[in-house]
Amino acid sequence: VLAFLEKRFHKWLPAAVDFTFTPLLSVMITGFLTFTVIGPVLKTVSDMLTNGIVWLYDTTSFVGMGIFGLTYSAIVMTGLHQSFPAIETQLVTAFANGHGAGDFIFVVASMANVAQGAATFAIYFLTKDKKMKGLSSSAGVSALLGITEPALFGVNLKYKFPFFCALIGSGVAAAFAGLMHIIAASMGAAGFIGFLSIYPKSIPMYVVAELISFAVAFALTFIYGKGHMKEEQVAPVVSASEAAETEAKVEEQVAAESKLNDEVVAAPISGESKKLTDVNDPVFSTLAMGNGAAVVPTDGTIYAPVDGELTVAYETKHAYGLKSDNGAEVLIHVGIDTVNLKGQHFESFVKQGQKVKKGDKLGTVDLDAVKAAGYDTTVMVVVTNTMSYASVDRIDNTKVNHGDDLVAVTAR
């Protein structure tokens, strides 16, 4: 609704008042509709869904858990899973007071997230597309840590069959969890590290259930993909000679890494600089993708932080990958979970493979619109080949303008 209204107001209002009144009117009307129509309707739908899930578990035990596991990721696609935390809080509280069976929803969510991550990793081994390999590896890690949107929307739904294979893996693992009466004693990150929230006696079986979820989803995706993905998309089985050739290429890569130079990555956007570990996204804050820095933006224009080549330009326009002339591989990710906006409020001025100079405009983002849509606008700047360097450190500047020094990269 907000996006629809914003586009219309941009078109209808004169330029003199567009900047002030488009966000104001869009938010006011959307807010009114949210409280009077959308909110009550979705609350009713959420209540019905939640009551149905609790009834399913209480009545059918492991069968209900299996059905819930089979449908959980589909529920995530609709956004209705946002109603579950309130129910989980009640389940955890009742369990702590000696009533109820505990939080079974968290367990199912963990199985679903692990399954989606496993299916994404299977695509990594199946595809020959370098861009998809990079996306599937990072999205797979994210899903295993509990954030499935990159895996769902970036990989599994694109090919479709990995999504359904993951549903099966999730359903089988959730049924096993129900059979073993695995429950959570608290809420947390639903994924491989979710054992921290599990009732201690259930932890061993929880780990087994996660392994089942991963194994079933990975195996089904890989086997089906080998037989049904287009030939040009599937990575072939490597022969001995090809393995030797690959080893030679690896050695060349190692030699290339030895030629990497010291470099300073500039701020791609103006705003307030902070440590990457402080951002509200474990994919980046755990440094799983590499070290770097973050910027809370005050301006919506994104600039190239280095001289080099644009290696990745996402269709959703929320992220860019660059390889500098000195060898640094830099990811600019605008916002948290903004892939869900599917390009709304973003503009891109560049194409993959294009050469860029430091300070060239890459794109723009409507920060107010993204915030109004409920998303964090923090911009992450990550050196994804951090392991190839002696050190990658944020330069301690609190406020930065685009082009200011942001990250210092030191070669071995």
Residues 106 and 221 in one domain: yes
Q: Is residue 252 part of a domain?
A: no
Q: Say yes or no: 219 and 160 in one domain.
A: yes
C-alpha torsion 383→386→390→392, nearest 10? 40
The more confident residue out of 57 and 233 is: 57
CB atoms < 10 A from the CB of 138, how many?
Answer: 23
Indicate whether 389 and 292 sit together in one domain: yes
Q: Is the pLDDT of residue 197 over 70?
A: yes
Q: Between 47 and 39, whose confidence is greater?
A: 39
Q: What's the structural domain count of the chain? A: 3
The per-residue pLDDT for 382 is 95
In a domain, 307, yes or no: yes
Tell me the average pLDDT across 45-55.
73
Local structure of 320: helix, strand or coil: strand
pLDDT above 50 (res 48): yes
26 vs 48, more confident:
26
Q: Which amino acid is at 224?
A: Y
**Taking the CB of residue 315, how many other CB atoms lie within 10 A of it?**
10
Task: Tell me: pLDDT of 248 over 60.
Answer: no
Residue 35 DSSP symbol: I
- State whether 91 and 229 are in the same domain: yes
| Domain shared by 172 and 87, yes or no | yes
Range 204-210 contact pairs with CB under 8 angstroms and sequence separation of 24 or more: 205/177, 205/180, 206/107, 206/110, 206/177, 206/182, 208/176, 208/180, 209/107, 209/111, 209/173, 209/174, 209/176, 209/177, 209/180, 209/182, 210/110, 210/111, 210/114, 210/173
17 and 131 within one domain? no
Residues 120 and 229 in one domain: yes
**Is 309 contained in some domain?**
yes
Averaged confidence pLDDT in the chain: 86
pLDDT, tens digit, for every residue of 320-347? 999 999 989 999 999 999 999 999 999 9
Most confident stretch, 97-106, 257-266, 295-304 = 295-304
Q: What is the pLDDT of residue 247?
A: 55
Cβ of 316: how many Cβ atoms within 10 Å?
A: 18
Looking at the fold, whether 31 and 104 belong to one and the same domain comes out as no
Percentage of the chain lying above the pLDDT 70 cut: 91
3-state DSSP assignment of residue 198: strand
Q: What is the largest CA-CA distance in the chain?
A: 68
- Domain range spanning residue 364? 263-410
**Nearest CA among 55, 114, 105, 56 for reference residue 81:** 105
Same domain (yes/no): 180, 114: yes
pTM exceeds 0.85, yes or no? no
pLDDT digits (tens, 9 = 90+) for 74-118: 888 877 777 778 777 777 777 777 766 678 889 999 999 999 999
Digit-coded pLDDT (tens) for 186-196: 888 888 888 88
Q: Tell me how many helices (H) and strands (E) the chain has.
A: 14, 14
244 pLDDT band, cuts 50/70/90, is: low
Q: What confidence score (pLDDT) does residue 237 get?
A: 47
Q: How far is CA 63 from CA 60, 87, 372, in A?
A: 5, 20, 41
Flag whether 25 is in a domain.
yes
Q: What is the dihedral of CA 129, 131, 132, 134, to 10 degrees?
A: 120
Which residues have CB under 8 Å from 5's CB, separation 6+? Answer: 25, 26, 29, 30
Task: State how beta strands 308-313 and 319-324 pair.
Answer: antiparallel
Specify the DSSP element, H or E, that contains 255: helix 240-257
